Structure 1
């Protein structure tokens, strides 16, 4: 097949920064947020948008409430521009030899909040020491949205109970986890141990970890036609310690999170009084970054930190 000849003269007239501006406006939903992301003033970005509209002969974006939405042609152009920029970023710029000590890259990690409190502190210390000029950017992660976030370039790596993915996703298991009971030390003065009977007698604080593994306990109980007496439910794992300190209740949480919370907040951990299948915590990434030297280093750092967890 004959290759299409590149019109270098025409391409030389196009400012690559315009494509960057186009992608930023699309991903941010408006000029104000996009200007902040690009670290330029709003008037400069508005001027670039005007040049883009003149270049393509289309409005590209129209106002939609408080934000902006792409026109049909704008959406097509944005999709193509985003692919071009991703190739430039990952295939050209990242082909430069990677040095952790010198890099100023931003590493975008998607992670659920309960794992954030366990994995991120040692990971941040490692990155600060090995790559002092880099930045670790955290994004809240739900397992159902992990691969979509990777596909859109919102995150570089996802860590969690993520097993699904297509041919464009890579996955490596970091460790197996299971469940324990987290509660206050004072509770043991009322209940000597968490037995099968006391587990169902005690009130529970439930946390929705936004992970499919969080259904393992309830699914196991439903099969036995049993249920917990839930008095408080929260989507925030970090709210558990304060709740458990003030309530004579228990929470069923992943083992690593339970141990970390118990150590940090003076709580106690007891074994779950019935068997539940363990679940895997994995690191997942887009295949387009598989051979990126910086991403190889970052994924290796995550794996090293995960291996060091108690």
Structure 2
């Protein structure tokens, strides 16, 4: 097949269908009628020799070939978009726009207070939204431009995405000041005898810690499991529970909740926190600026 055989607008329509999965929604976004979208899809099906999308009660479900095609098409359209807009000047002090970052609740605790203060100083017209970076559709949302950046241990973001190491950190044991374990060194016996709080964080690299402890044969007396980190400080301050958390989260919680942390008695691998962005926004001046601010504030020297 040659490029002259295909209309670029058909690829734009294909990308929108990959994201929205509904003809009516794509027609609305592209300013077309539903029959026009269906006709264009029919031409693309004939050209590529594949159904591409199958109509189901849940919407238009992509075929395996469409899934395989989505990455290269998205990257190609991103390069074209970036080339056409590379002369755009971005002035953070005067621009008014919203930007969205994917992060866990750990990220919201560790990053947002510092980041929001910096934006207040240098980019008062920019507002931030956050979404959970463990969300099922994070990849599609970044491909479509709904999410500008993602921060965290995100093994599911590979092909079609750029990434750069922000920092690495170790895991520590976090508990209240005055806890029976509040002593210079925490032994493995102390750790196993304690009562523990665990956070179930499926979909992120943090969830691997529980599996590593189990594989190491480490027994924990887990008294409480919660689905997020936002309540950890409140819970630990008023109980004798112990939590295994990342060091930067421990540092952020220790002051406000009168907590302390110690080196973990189990040899756990450090966790890498990366910044991810899609090829579509790689050369965008606004996104280059946002990435620069994040690395300036939180990146390892």
Answer yes or no: same fold by TM over 0.5. Answer: yes
Q: 1:48 maps to which residue?
A: 33
Distance 1:56 1:31 in 2: 10
CA positional deviation for 1:132: 2.8
1:267 corresponds in structure 2 to: 258
CA distance in structure 1 between the partners assigned to 2:18 and 2:153 by the alignment: 30
| Distance across 2 between alignment mates of 1:184 and 1:32 | 54
Q: Does residue 222 of the first structure (1) align with residue 215 of the second (2)?
A: yes
Deviation of residue 172 (structure 1)?
A: 2.0
Q: Which runs of 5+ in 2 are unaligned?
A: 44-51
Equivalent residue, structure 1, for 2:292: 300
CA distance in 1, matches of 2:154, 2:280: 18
C-alpha distance in structure 1 between counterparts of 2:105 and 2:238, whole Å: 22
Q: TM-score, normalised by structure 2?
A: 0.72
CA distance in 2, matches of 1:246, 1:29: 47
Counterpart residue number, 1:108: 100
Q: How has the CA–CA distance of structure 1 residues 142 and 124 changed in structure 2, closer, same or farther, with 3 Å as cutoff? A: same
8 Å CA contact 1:118, 1:256 repeated in 2:
yes
Q: How far apart, CA to CA, are the structure 2 residues paired with 1:170 and 1:125?
A: 27
Matched, 1:119 2:104: no
Distance 1:54 1:166, change over 3 A: closer
Deviation at 1:217, TM superposition (A): 6.4
SS in 1 for 2:111: helix
Is the 2:143–2:280 Cα contact (8 Å) retained in structure 1?
no
Q: Which runs of 5+ in 1 are unaligned?
A: 39-43
1:68 equivalent in structure 2: 59
| TM-score normalised by structure 1 residue count | 0.70
Q: Does 1:91 align with 2:83?
A: yes
Tell me how far apart the structure 2 counterparts of residues 26 and 19 of structure 1 sit (CA, whole Å): 10
Distance 1:92 1:161 in 2: 33
Kept in 1: contact 2:205–2:271 (CA 8 A): no
Q: Select the structure that is richer in helix.
A: 1
Deviations 1:24-48, CA, capped at 9 Å, x for gaps: 6763455898899x6xxxxx97x73
Query: Which residue number corresponds to residue 41 of structure 1?
Result: none
What do you get for the CA RMSD once the two structures are aligned? 4.4
Name 1:243's counterpart in structure 2.
235
